[in-house]
Structure 1
Amino acid sequence: MFSSQTYRKRRETLIQKMGRQGILLFLGNGEYPINFEDNTYPFRQDSSFLYYFGIQQPHLAAIIDLDENRTVIFGDEMSIDALVWMGRQETLQSKCEKSGVSETRSFGELAHYLAMAMTTQRKIHYLPPYQPANKILLGELLQLSIADFKPSSTLIQAVVSQREIKEEQEISEIEKALTVSTKMHLTAMRMAQPGVKEYEIAAAIQQIAAQENCALAYPSIVTVKGGILHNHFQGNTLKSGQLLLNDSGCETAMGYASDLTRTFPVDRTFTTEQRELYQVVLDAFEGAKNKLKAGVKFKEVHLHAALILSQGLIDFGLMKGNAADAVAAHAHTMFFQCGLGHMMGLDVHDMEDLGEQYVGYTPNEPKETQLFGLKSLRLGKALKSGHVLTVEPGIYFIPELIERWEAEKKYADFINYEKLNQYKGFGGIRIEDNFLIEEKGYRQLGPELIRTIAEIEAFRMD
């Protein structure tokens, strides 16, 4: 945990943003069975609960009562049965003291507290629940059907405005995660060779995270079929001539994440075509990161990367015409179907549970929900000093998309389908790093992980 002063200050700031009326309800996460009750998935606390209270323990809830100026954590100390099986652990009371909360009650009292508040028609603000059990619990507490939930937009916006600006101690935690993730990626590069299984590399990655007291921030993507954006199948055997895409990151014991991607040859060097297409993505990466600074809209950075990708693909012969016209028509989305990046912090896709319309966009400039490509851009609003985000351009060859669009003659003025059909099995290339936005630019976080063709080949040859 951070200092008790950290959590007090965060809650005080939230209270100032919310005013002095109503109750703020925070539900912690629970433990849930994999296949029987006592065999549970690894526990991960809700990130907003972590941010304001810092306690990594299941089956907790907290309220900040704005009317009565009090903060209460609801939870239970270990029963004698739990002590028999788990042994004596730090008490909940002790954890609450570290969080700067002096008032605790049993979890069973939460329903009564909220029922009394509802009898006097007090406003209860809550965030969108995402775990099924918490949806059921919230419905019972508020006497609502799940279909009638109305999470508080006021609370969501207040939480986002706080959590999106990272404190120095948060940056330090993110950089700890990046230090470990860099080791994970270098290990993957060292292991890759013909005959190795994808799952062997994925296992080594997970072992490094565990050895550093970290968990994976998300299921690792370790694949020779990089054209599948979120490919979690890891049963392929690496073969000469292929590229391996490794998208993997970890999170610290405090819950802060990293998110890195590198693509490199299974052989010790890139082929000529791999080299040229990799450089296209690298140029887009460099062009995008150099536009990062406070006040710049990330949507503009995304489109700038798309312009560089399009020009590179025109030069390579997979696209044709004018690059700016191609991007304006969205023809680049044949190769770049996703967004350039996303917020990162306590969640690898930071605060995504609160809604992209609040985290990545503004009411005046809402998210595009129809256009292919832009509808997958999680972040579009103007950047602020203190934002932490990813930059991850890529090009992806998706056979089904190629076949469908060619049959429709879609973007035929910009896409060279004759040549593109020769690349259906190429896979994909993605390069990703993590950045802190500053007033006049950016700071790349964590150790510098090799990314140029010369650096990767030199490492692979060593």
Structure 2
Amino acid sequence: MFSPDTYRQRRKKLMQQVATGLLLIYGNGESPRNFRANPYAFRQDSNVLYFSGIVRPDVALLLDPAAGKSWLCGEEYGVEDAIWSGRQTSLAEWAEAGGLDGVLSLSELRGHLAKARGEVHYLPPYRCEHVARLSDWLGKSRAEIEAAPSEPFIRAVVGQRSYKSGEEIEQIKAAVSASMFMHDSVKERCQPMVSSEEQLVALAESLARNLAAGLAYPIILTTNGQILHNHHYSFEPLPFEGLLLCDMGAETAMGYAGDITRTIPVAGHFTDREKDIFDLVKEAKEEAVKACKPGVPYREVHLLASTVIAEGLKELKLMKGDPEEAVAAGAHALFFPHGLGHMMGLDVHDMESLGEDYVGYDEQVQRSEQFGLAYLRLGRALEPGFVITVEPGIYFIPELISQWKAEKKHGNFINYSEVEKYLDFGGIRIEDDYLITGQGAVNVLNA
């Protein structure tokens, strides 16, 4: 945990920005795998972590801006819990560590909420038990709960969590350092006809638990790099040739994430065709990083990377026509169908539970509805203190290529006869994590 004063100052600022009613931040409970006593690994809600550092299940934070006070709400563990799990940290001890003013039982919390006469601010619930708990506490239907999270509360939280402090940067750096060690170890152990995807994933997961607190998200490790979120791992030995795409990141004990992607040749060296595509993705990433400066909308950086990709694919005879016009029309999205990057912090996609449009967009930059560009999670102007990912890629997705060709989509920009020669290629993505400073983007490891 950070110092109690860190959490006090965060809550004080929050209560200054949302100064009426009560603010309720509910934590996560343990989630059973197949019965109650057999839970998945516990992960606390990131907003509870940010405003208190408390990792205990089944608690909530209640903030009263008028009184300038905040409480930890929950029920104490009993003797039976001690029998099975040993002595547990008391709520009072947790409250002291998080700089809170005291402890309320859940029945006392109900009383405070009832006195608020409906003016209770809460954030968007992302688990069904969140909805059920809020419905019970506030006396509203589940539909009413899901329809009425507090927009001022959301914006105030986003306004704080978007800007990373020095101590947060150190946590993220630790997560990224562990993530890089995972990648280096996988690359070292990658051997055709010896290693399998499943073995390499098991190695990375073990390293994440030993170097940090575990994984920030499920590992993507696959010879089918054209599948963007592939969590199915083969037990078969890796082939003699082809590419292995590895997207994985560690999470620290305090909940901060790393997010790194590498694409490596299984045999240890690229073919000429693979190197052409790899070098193009690398160039797009390097140009994007150079363009990441305060005040520059990240959507412009995404479009710059897209144009670099379109220019390179034209040189390879896979695209044709004017690259800038191709990008404006969205033709490049056949090969680059996702966004360039996203915020990162206590969540690998930071604050995504609050709503991507609140986090990544504003009045100046609105989300596009164009295929590919619509998946860009971060479009707004960059600011010092942001931590972001930069992760361009080029993919050859047979299903998408077949559909677009049948529809004759963007035929003035795409050479389908040449593209079809790459149907067995897979995909390449390169990703690193950057801190935006007053001068530009700095790799988190060098921050």
So what's the TM-score if we normalise by structure 1? 0.94
What is aligned with 1:168? 166
User: Is the Cα–Cα contact under 8 Å of residues 96 and 102 in structure 1 kept in the other structure?
Assistant: yes
* Aligned counterparts of 1:213 and 1:289: Cα–Cα separation in 2: 27
Q: Secondary structure at the match of 2:292?
A: coil
* Aligned counterparts of 2:428 and 2:434: Cα–Cα separation in 1: 20
What is aligned with 2:386? 387
* Aligned counterparts of 2:435 and 2:342: Cα–Cα separation in 1: 12
> Are 2:431 and 1:432 aligned?
yes
What is aligned with 2:413? 414
CA deviation digits over 1:370-397, x for unaligned, max 9?
2101110000000110000000000111
CA deviation digits over 1:39-90, x for unaligned, max 9?
0011101001110011001000111112232211111222000000001132
Q: Secondary structure at the match of 2:445?
A: coil
- How much has 1:308 moved relative to structure 2? 0.3
* Aligned counterparts of 1:63 and 1:57: Cα–Cα separation in 2: 15
* Aligned counterparts of 2:8 and 2:446: Cα–Cα separation in 1: 32
* Aligned counterparts of 2:130 and 2:107: Cα–Cα separation in 1: 15
> Are 2:214 and 1:215 aligned?
yes
Matches within 5 A, 1:124-273: 124-149=120-145, 150-195=148-193, 196-235=195-234, 236-273=236-273
User: Is the Cα–Cα contact under 8 Å of residues 72 and 91 in structure 2 kept in the other structure?
Assistant: no
> What amino acid is the match of 1:397?
F
Higher mean alpha-carbon deviation, 84-93 vs 173-182, is at 84-93
* Aligned counterparts of 1:327 and 1:100: Cα–Cα separation in 2: 51
User: Is the Cα–Cα contact under 8 Å of residues 333 and 371 in structure 2 kept in the other structure?
Assistant: yes
User: Is the Cα–Cα contact under 8 Å of residues 26 and 126 in structure 1 kept in the other structure?
Assistant: yes
- How much has 1:111 moved relative to structure 2? 2.0
What is aligned with 1:41? 40
* Aligned counterparts of 1:374 and 1:138: Cα–Cα separation in 2: 35
User: Is the Cα–Cα contact under 8 Å of residues 74 and 104 in structure 2 kept in the other structure?
Assistant: yes
User: Is the Cα–Cα contact under 8 Å of residues 178 and 447 in structure 1 kept in the other structure?
Assistant: no
- How much has 1:34 moved relative to structure 2? 0.4
- How much has 1:192 moved relative to structure 2? 1.1
* Aligned counterparts of 1:296 and 1:364: Cα–Cα separation in 2: 12
- How much has 1:419 moved relative to structure 2? 1.0
* Aligned counterparts of 1:136 and 1:299: Cα–Cα separation in 2: 37
- How much has 1:237 moved relative to structure 2? 3.4
User: Is the Cα–Cα contact under 8 Å of residues 179 and 447 in structure 1 kept in the other structure?
Assistant: no
**Alignment gaps of 5+ in structure 2:** none
- How much has 1:363 moved relative to structure 2? 3.0
> What amino acid is the match of 1:174?
I
User: Is the Cα–Cα contact under 8 Å of residues 70 and 100 in structure 2 kept in the other structure?
Assistant: yes
**Alignment gaps of 5+ in structure 1:** 449-462
What is aligned with 1:25? 24
- How much has 1:447 moved relative to structure 2? 6.5
What is aligned with 2:3? 3
Q: Secondary structure at the match of 2:121?
A: strand
- How much has 1:182 moved relative to structure 2? 0.8
* Aligned counterparts of 2:70 and 2:268: Cα–Cα separation in 1: 58
* Aligned counterparts of 1:250 and 1:79: Cα–Cα separation in 2: 34
Higher mean alpha-carbon deviation, 51-60 vs 237-246, is at 237-246
* Aligned counterparts of 1:447 and 1:423: Cα–Cα separation in 2: 37
What is aligned with 2:59? 60
> Are 2:107 and 1:108 aligned?
yes
* Aligned counterparts of 2:322 and 2:279: Cα–Cα separation in 1: 20
CA deviation digits over 1:14-46, x for unaligned, max 9?
112223x21001101101110011000111010
> What amino acid is the match of 1:156?
I
> Are 2:352 and 1:352 aligned?
yes
Runs of 4+ in 1 over 3 A off after TM superposition: none
* Aligned counterparts of 2:192 and 2:73: Cα–Cα separation in 1: 54
- Across the aligned residues of Structure 1 and Structure 2, the Cα RMSD in angstroms comes to 1.2
* Aligned counterparts of 2:85 and 2:213: Cα–Cα separation in 1: 22
What is aligned with 2:281? 281
What is aligned with 1:321? 321
Quick one: percent identity of the two aligned structures?
A: 46
So what's the TM-score if we normalise by structure 2? 0.97
CA deviation digits over 1:273-292, x for unaligned, max 9?
00111001000000000001
Higher mean alpha-carbon deviation, 381-390 vs 105-114, is at 105-114
- How much has 1:362 moved relative to structure 2? 0.5
- How much has 1:353 moved relative to structure 2? 0.3
* Aligned counterparts of 1:72 and 1:4: Cα–Cα separation in 2: 13
What is aligned with 2:301? 301
* Aligned counterparts of 1:77 and 1:408: Cα–Cα separation in 2: 62
> What amino acid is the match of 2:363?
P
